Amino acid sequence: MPDTQLLLEALSCLSGCNVEQTNGVSQLTAQDFVNIVALKEFYKKEGFKELEYPSLGTLSLSDLDDHDMYSSPLALEAGRPSPQSLRTTVKVNPDDFFHTQFDYDFTNVKDGDKTFLRGSERYSRPCGWSRSALRVVQRYDGGEGWLGTGHSAWPVCYHGHTMDGSLGVILTAGQLEPNAEPGFLDAAAASLVTGETRGRGVYSTPDVKTAEKHCKRFKSKVDGKTYKVILQNRINPEKRQTCQREDVWLVYVPEGSTDVQTRAIVQESIRPYGMLLKPE
């Protein structure tokens, strides 16, 4: 298992919160974290400035990621709070949140032409990454079939930073002039096999290389290295919309959905089971 503090830094980077260690009960579950990562990007794209999340209250959607939260702080104007102080603090018990029994180091793994399946769909293993398993066994109703390798298993997907915003450009990249910036909904709508959804929702990819292009990075206090971080999830095949590009999947959120309904859609559609780290 990687250094505990390094993992907490990675969670902080993904969620935009200050994640700190506790010996008590974790304030959030692994499912909460994937909800927050997905919902923050979705609501930011919708033009909101804040996200309300149970047990945490109001989370800012302001983009604080341009500031390296683990480097020396920038000179601040008098009376202006630091970026760190604007983040919500979350307490996590590593023993309750991570499941080290299922950690796997893909750092030196090369699959070549080998094919792996999850739910009868190709699984692009995260070669070159180190995976810290999240504690999700016996956390959901209906058994563990979704997490297996058989026909009832959910396919694997990856979620990186700005997946929702950046993929609008990726989807039509072959049709655009260099450096063109299309409207997100227009680009997404053009990419979908079924046009009625108009691209509104949460995006992910079955291709770890695609996710890597849009992943978050942070400089660790532990060893001074800069790391890339991605969430590895399973996606409900019945909730996923197919795009023209095979490496783009959408969980559609209908217009008019309330905050509670939107959170329920994400929770029913995407389940996390690993956090991937790679030093640059």
52 pLDDT more than 70: yes
Domain extent, residue 245, equals: 4-279
Confidence of residue 177 (pLDDT cuts 50, 70, 90): very low
Identify the band that residue 62 occupies on the pLDDT scale cut at 50, 70 and 90.
confident
Q: How many beta carbons lie within 10 A of that of residue 190, not counting itself?
A: 16
Classified as helix, coil or strand, 92 is strand
| Greatest Cα pair distance in the chain | 59
pLDDT given at position 241: 82
Residue 77: band (very low, low, confident or very high) from pLDDT cuts 50, 70, 90: very low
pLDDT at residue 44 is higher than 90: no
Q: Is the pLDDT of residue 132 over 90?
A: yes
Scan for tokens 């291709």, then name that residue.
Answer: 207
Tell me the one-letter amino acid at 22: T
Residue 133 CB neighbour total at 10 angstroms: 20
Residues of the chain with pLDDT > 90, as a percent, come to 57
- Alpha carbon 227 to its chain centroid, in Å, reads 15
Lowest mean pLDDT among 130-134, 186-190, 201-205, 269-273: 186-190
Look at residue 186 and tell me whether its pLDDT is greater than 70: no
- What is the band of 134 on the pLDDT scale with cuts at 50, 70, 90? very high
Residue 162 CB neighbours (<10 A): 16
Overall pTM > 0.85: no
How many structural domains comprise the chain?
1
- Give phi and psi for 160, each to the nearest 5: -115, 180
Q: Are 85 and 14 in contact (CB under 8 A)?
A: no
What pLDDT does residue 174 have? Answer: 39
Residue type, 186: D
> How much is the average pLDDT of 223-235?
96
Q: Is 36 helix (H, G, I), strand (E, B) or coil?
A: helix
The position carrying tokens 């750092």 is 107
The pLDDT score that the predictor gives to residue 244 is 66
Mean pLDDT, the chain, rounded, equals: 82
The mean pLDDT of 180-206, rounded to a whole number, is: 57
Q: What is the pLDDT of residue 63?
A: 56
